Amino acid sequence: MRIRSEQLNPIVGDIDGNTDKILNSLKKAEQDNVELLVLPEMCLTGYPPMDLLERQSLLQKVEKASQTIINATGETGIIFGLPTKNPSNTGRLLFNSAILAWAGKILATVNKTLLPTYDVFDESRYFEPNRYFGPVGFKGCKLGITICEDIWTNRNEFNYHTYAQEPASMLAEAGADILINISASPFSRSKPEFRKNMLREHAMNLHIPVVFANQVGANTEMIFDGDSMIIAPDGTVLERTELFKEDFVDAVWNARPKKISPTQNRAPEPKETEREIFEALVLGLRDYFAKSGLPKQVVLGLSGGLDSALTAVIAAEALGHENVTGITMPSDFSSGGSVSDSEKLAENLGIKIQKLPIGDVYEMFLQTLGPVFKDTPFNVAEENLQSRTRGVLLMAIANKFGWLLLNTGNKSELAVGYCTLYGDMAGGISVIADLYKTEAYSLSSWLNEVYYQKEIIPGEIISKEPSAELRPDQKDTDSLPPYLILDGILKAYIEGQKSLKEIIEMGYDPDVSKTILALVDRNEYKRRQAPPGLRVSTKAFGPGRQLPLAHGWKHEIQ
């Protein structure tokens, strides 16, 4: 039996378009004499559909579309993911399901058992958990069908929840010949290898092959890498798809002896971290526009600094250089290179660039505020006013031409509030909001040295000392520790979920650590008003990190 694991890039809520994708995959599989086509979790609705699942009109369309797919099956069987109605009078109204269909009929409907409610997931909000376990027969083979979290039992990066059930083991004990998992498992830094090792562990422990089909593409903040694969019982990765694009792999199952064999022996080597991150962000930005129906034209402020330069590179790669416009907005406090470095970057990328000095507009604001600010010293209000002046100009340009403003802020500054509401926090989407400053440096250097193999981001931008340039001779280190130290503390606190005591035990200065953690907590209100940011870490700001704005928690050095 020839089995195909295929990763699709659905659009959330586009039931017609997703149905066409599924039908095209089914047709291609039949032409290739594939006997079982395995597609991702919730591929009919796209994942995550969120509160669209509360709309009866969508559920009715899903039900009709699923019947169209079932009716289209012939010699090739198909497993695909979708929401189905819970017929019981108790519990949630829906199941997160996988349908196995063949020859115009449903052979089985399998429901998801483990419903994640941590980080970016909130499945218990919509779905009732499965309570029945058993393999499904198909052409003489017993299939152990699971859905995403069902195979992540107590194997996630963080122990958010300890599950009492182990669906994969229970299915293997019940006689499953093959473990099949359909997923919408989002990408994060180093996730592909972590996930692969988890799947290999299942294959080796259960002594059966694993067929894994994962969603690819991006939906708002979440980016899915695909990385579908087929693994032999000894843990050998027989076939593995390319990351970040629609792709499929095949293998052949022989009932006697029970053995699975590759068709192409295609198992790409792991990519370096910078390449994974770059491809993820490019896909994330590209899909944000394609799936939202937005025109691809974007505008962003070019400050001559690293963050805006990196954002411009990603935008040019994702949307085409002809669709990107950079605006330089120098003030009396801007360095000499803020404009010239930006112009050099624009020339290297082939993007458009315009210069709009903000001095006159800024002075008019100060004159208007004069009666209120009279006899007060220059402070953060005047500093932030410059940033807000730039935000007004950028939003005016975006509105005038129907473009989208890209936010260029990084995770380090967003974490500690080193950013201005209604100023440099403006934008429709934040491209590098989940990259720490040190990671932005690393990615920028990699782009020049490895990806482009020439200087795209001017060396002066990478080498200059970071500065907001909102007062004379200002440097980021005036307010913050060096980024190597800052980012180390932030990673430990945000992604490592370490306490203040644990961070100090790692070797960081107690007073500095306490100050940084207090800044992170204090600036939650800013992050609530930030644009959505593309997620590439295990703990990004946004829906995956929910903290109260008003609270009395204090970090103590014990």
Helix (H) or strand (E) holding 389: helix 380-401
Residue 196 annotated to the active site: no
Q: Return d(Cα 249, Cα 210) in angstroms, integer.
A: 13
Kindly state the tokens that stand for 177: 């010949």
112 in active site: yes
Catalytic pick from 6, 43, 112, 166? 112
- Amino acid identity of 433? A
**Closest to 232 measured CA to CA, from 256, 199, 257, 264:** 199
How distant, in Å, are the alpha carbons of 2, 293, 361, 472 from that of 253? 6, 42, 70, 70
* Count of other CB atoms within 10 angstroms of residue 477: 13
Q: Which of 153, 152, 163, 93 is nearest to 124 (CA)?
A: 93
b (16+ CB within 10 A) / e for 54-69: eeeebbebbeebbeeb
C-alpha distances in Å from residue 412, one per residue of 418, 475, 540: 8, 15, 11
Catalytic residue (one of 6, 35, 41, 221): 41
Tokens of 393: 């100009």
Label residue 373 exposed, middle or buried (CB < 10 Å: 0-12, 13-18, 19+): middle
Active site residue 41: yes
Measure the CA–CA gap between 388 and 390, rounded to whole angstroms.
5
Residue 235 backbone zone (phi > 0: left; psi -120 to 50: alpha; other: beta):
left
The single residue of 43, 141, 148, 419 carrying the catalytic annotation is 148
In whole angstroms, give the CA distance from residue 12 to residue 256: 41
CA 103 to chain centre: 37
DSSP annotation string for 2-66: EEEEEE----TT-HHHHHHHHHHHHHHHHHTT-SEEE--TTTTT-S--GGGGG-HHHHHHHHHHH
Catalytic residues: 41, 112, 148
